[in-house]
Amino acid sequence: MLVRTMVDFLERPSAYPASIITALDGILVVIIVVDILHTVVTHLRSATIPVRPFLVIGILAGVRDILSASARLSLIARQTSTSFDQSIIELGVGVGVVLVLLAGLLVLRAAAHPDKDDAPDD
């Protein structure tokens, strides 16, 4: 998939804004797939389902959507008002998803590391 993305990017030099968006999307999809495979292999080895990697994968997917929407907004010169509105909504939803998943990651981290103040004194 990564090779195909790079070939598509290099074959269309005249359509640079669109090919940059497509290349960025392809590269981020490869990163997400590698993270999912790593999580599945970890699950198969330990027989437990880790939550943290899935939150990170979700954050990466949200960042991918944010980057795609912002690249579309900035690189494509002429947009209809409908496509502009859809890009803004996509950008807002992506930011919301990333913030919610980051909050979940922080809660998970806080639950794993109790405060030192809660420990009984000897």
Q: Number of helices and strands (H, E) in the chain?
A: 4, 0
- What residue has token string 């999912």? 36
**Domain total in the chain:** 1
Asked if pLDDT for residue 102 goes beyond 90, the answer is yes
What are the residues whose beta carbons fall under 8 Å from the beta carbon of 56, sequence distance 6 or more?
Answer: 35, 105
Per-residue pLDDT at 103? 94
The SS3 of residue 91 is: helix
User: Of 19-28, 44-53, 54-63, 113-122, which one has max mean pLDDT?
Assistant: 54-63
| Residue 49 structural domain | 2-118
Q: What does the alpha-carbon distance between residue 98 and residue 66 come to, in Å, rounded to a whole number?
A: 9
Averaged confidence pLDDT in the chain: 79
Amino acid identity of residue 77, one-letter, is A
